[in-house]
Structure 1
Amino acid sequence: MANHQHETPEIPKEVLTDLNQYIKYLRERIFFEPESPVFHYNLGIAYARKGLRAEAISEFKQAIECDPTMAQAYVNLGGLYFQEGELDRCINANRKALEIDPNLPMAYSNLGFAHLQKGEHEEAIEACRKAVELMPQLLQAHNNLAVAYLQVGRHQESIAASLKVLELHADFAPAHYNLYVAYSATGDEAKAAEHLERARELGYPAE
Structure 2
Amino acid sequence: MIMEEKKKEEVTEDKVFRALRKQLLATPYSAPLHYNLGLAYARREQLDESITCFQQAIVYDPKLVEAYINLGGIYLRKGNLEACIEANQKALEINPNHPLAHSNLGFALIQQGKLDEGMAEYRKALEIDPNQAAVRANLGGAYFQKDDLESAIRENLKALDLNPSFALAHNNLLHAYRAKGDLEAAKTHCEKATELGFQVNPEIAKELGCG
Please indicate the TM-score interval, normalised by the length of the shorter structure: 0.7 to 0.9
Structure 1, residues 118-175: CA drift from partner, whole Å, max 9, x if none? 1111112111112222233322211110111111122211111100121233233332
Change (3 A) 1:159 1:18: same
Q: Which residue of 1 aligns with 2:32?
A: 38
Q: 2:9 aligns with which of 4, 8, 15?
A: 15
Partner Cα separation in structure 1 for residue 16 and residue 191 of structure 2: 45
1-side partners of 2:20 and 2:193: how far apart? 44
Answer yes or no: is 1:205 the counterpart of 2:169. Answer: no
Deviates more, 1:185-194 or 1:83-92: 185-194
Q: Which SS does the other structure have where 2:113 is aligned?
A: coil
| Pairs within 5 Å for 1:83-122 | 83-122=77-116
Identical columns (%): 43
Structure 2 counterpart of 1:182, which letter? A
Letter in 1 for 2:129: M
Higher RCO by CA contacts (8 Å cutoff, separation 6 or greater): 1
Specify whether residues 100 and 17 from structure 1 end up closer, same or farther in structure 2 by C-alpha distance, changes over 3 A only.
same
In the TM superposition, residue 33 of structure 1 has moved relative to its aligned partner by 1.6
Matched, 1:141 2:135: yes
Q: Distance in 1 between matches of 2:92 and 2:145?
A: 26
TM-score by length of 2: 0.84
Q: Is the 8 A contact 1:103 1:134 kept in 2?
A: yes
**Unaligned 5+ runs, structure 2:** 203-211
1:80 equivalent to 2:74? Answer: yes
Letter in 2 for 1:135: D
1:70 is matched with which residue: 64, 77, 82? 64
Cα separation, 2, equivalents of 1:19 and 1:195: 37
Q: Quick check: 1:163 aligned with 2:190?
A: no
Residue type of the partner of 1:142?
Answer: R
Distance 1:72 1:201 in 2: 34
Matched with 1:3 is none
The CA RMSD measured in Å over matched residues stands at 2.1
Aligned partner of 1:56 among 47, 50, 53:
50
Q: 1:206 to 1:14 in 2, by over 3 A?
A: farther
Unaligned runs of 5+ in 1: 1-8
Residue 162 (structure 2) pairs with residue 183 (structure 1):
no
Q: Summarize the Cα distance change of 1:137–1:49 in structure 2 as closer, same or farther, 3 Å threshold.
A: farther
Alignment check: 8 A CA contact 1:116 1:144 kept: no
Contact preservation (8 Å) 1:112, 1:141: no
Structure 1 residues 187 and 206 mapped into 2: Cα distance closer, same or farther (>3 Å)? closer
Does the Cα contact within 8 Å between 2:190 and 2:200 map onto a contact in 1? no
- The alignment partner of 1:12 has SS state of helix
Q: CA deviation at 1:195?
A: 2.7
